[in-house]
Amino acid sequence: MRSATSVALAAVERAGLADLFAKAVDGVRMGRQDGLRLVACPDLTAVGTVANATRERINGDRTHYILNRHVNYTNVCNKGCRFCYFARNPKDGGPTPYLLTSDDVYAALTARPDDRLSEIHMVGGIDPRLPLDYYLDLLRAAKRARPNACVKAFTAVEIDQIARVAGRTVPATLDLLMEAGLGAVPGGGAEVLSDRVHAMLHPNKLTPSQWIDISRQVAGAGLPQYATMLFGHVETPEERVDHLLALRALQDETGHLLALTPLAFHPEGSYLSHLPAPTGIDDLRMAAVSRALLDNVAHIKSFWVMSTVQVSQISLWYGADDIDGTVQEYEITFPEGRLGQTSQSLSRTELEALIVEAGRNPVERDTLYQPVAPSETCHA
Ligand code: SF4
């Protein structure tokens, strides 16, 4: 009987990807054409085998997870992105807009004091009425509640907004945010770095070059940042590849990107609800293409809340080395009414079991991907 490895290598040969597999094994950088071949290749096993070679070269069989908590401080937003159903503009008359106070955030983060948390992931919509002090108070409340957790907060879009409201430069604003407790910057806001997609779907938000510029300033402030790619809407295969290459070029310059999370677009409930829902095949392919092209970003994350647990497990053989974390409360992905159908939290034990079942080696990490020693006080 043939081993799984020989079947996978035969698939690579059959698909005509042997040269890309050799590049992945040897750590030779792939070009735009290589990326386009991986996006177009109908043999997903072959694409995954190429990505897995890079994954194992960089991360071995380690698979990361984190004990984290998500806080979405408001769903009010004036940006009107066509793919978004999380945001509620007060003028829309849609479901209730909400705004958390810093006391709300403190209360939420201290409600289960025995749960160890390494990271608080805090993002929200763009409400132009919120002053600088609101954002600073959120950070202080989060740090007061969880002094040992890293507060990863505010995408480049929010940072731009906070700087405008404060009447300060981005670097001066970042200084204030860091003083109040900001420890890292999440991905998000870039979607697909394409002027065409920007004009079609989110013209009121940062342009691709503005997003890159703010990310450079984040790096200049000494903050680590995550990156994402929202795919599966109106973007072309070329635009997917160019997004990854733009991030790779940024990383060559700054070295501050910790991970990329490819996020499949869920059309349900958005202005684009006529588009087909994402499939597991899309998720696996984009994890693989991201891993193969982004040779200078150490980690590719499959966010189980969006991909499903099952697809995230498989993605660990298609380039991903991280399945995010315990999460607890996540409202951005799915429209109201669908939240109850999707588990929003996994325990540490469950995450480890899922990774082991997938044949990988679980490693609890912190925001910077440093391993966290197992603790007997962990009740997550
Ligand atoms: S994606 Fe973000 S910026 Fe765009 S409308 Fe939704 S919350 Fe606002």
What is the pLDDT of the chain when averaged over all its residues? Answer: 92
Alpha-carbon distances, residue 270 vs 97, 159, 206, 346, 352 (angstroms): 17, 25, 20, 27, 34
Q: With a 6 A CB cut-off, is 86 part of the ligand 1 pocket? A: yes
* Residue 186: pLDDT band with limits 50, 70, 90: very high
What is the pairing mode between strands 182-184 and 150-153? parallel
Q: How many angstroms does the Cα of residue 19 sit away from the middle of ligand 1?
A: 41
Q: With a 6 A CB cut-off, is 165 part of the ligand 1 pocket? A: no
Tell me the average pLDDT across 110-124.
92
CA distance 21 to 292: 9
Q: How many angstroms does the Cα of residue 174 sit away from the middle of ligand 1?
A: 21
Among 40-44, 100-104, 340-344, the range scoring the smallest mean pLDDT is 340-344
What pLDDT score was predicted for residue 112?
87
What pLDDT score was predicted for residue 265?
94
Determine which residue's CA is closest to atom 2 belonging to ligand 1: 125
Q: What are the residues facing 327 on neighbouring strands?
A: 345
Say yes or no to pLDDT of 200 above 60: yes
Tell me the average pLDDT across 148-164.
98
Say yes or no to pLDDT of 329 above 80: no
Among 11-20, 28-37, 344-353, 359-368, the range scoring the smallest mean pLDDT is 344-353
Q: How many angstroms does the Cα of residue 87 sit away from the middle of ligand 1?
A: 6
Share of the chain above pLDDT 70, in %: 92
Q: For the domain with range 56-364, which CATH number is right: 3.20.20.80, 3.20.20.70, 3.90.1150.10, 3.40.50.11540?
A: 3.20.20.70
Say yes or no to pLDDT of 224 above 60: yes
CA 318 to chain centre: 17
Q: How many angstroms does the Cα of residue 127 sit away from the middle of ligand 1?
A: 10
The greatest distance separating any two alpha carbons of the chain, rounded to the nearest whole angstrom, comes to 68
What pLDDT score was predicted for residue 330?
54
Q: With a 6 A CB cut-off, is 85 part of the ligand 1 pocket? A: no
Tell me the average pLDDT across 182-189.
96
**What DSSP string describes 150-180?**
EEEE--HHHHHHHHHHHTS-HHHHHHHHHHH
What pLDDT score was predicted for residue 331?
53
Residue to probe by mutation, ligand 1, list 76, 81, 83, most atoms within 8 Å of CB: 81
Give the domain ranges of the chain: 56-364
Residue 86 CA: nearest ligand 1 atom is: 6
The 10s digit of each residue's pLDDT in 56-92 is 999 999 999 999 999 999 999 999 999 987 887 766 6
Say yes or no to pLDDT of 94 above 70: no
Say yes or no to pLDDT of 340 above 60: no
Say yes or no to pLDDT of 223 above 50: yes
Q: How many angstroms does the Cα of residue 3 sit away from the middle of ligand 1?
A: 47
Structure-model confidence comparison of residues 88 and 163, the more confident one = 163
Say yes or no to pLDDT of 95 above 80: no
Place of tokens 């937003």: 77
The type of residue at 373 is: A
Q: How many angstroms does the Cα of residue 80 sit away from the middle of ligand 1?
A: 6
Q: With a 6 A CB cut-off, is 87 part of the ligand 1 pocket? A: yes
Q: With a 6 A CB cut-off, is 164 part of the ligand 1 pocket? A: no
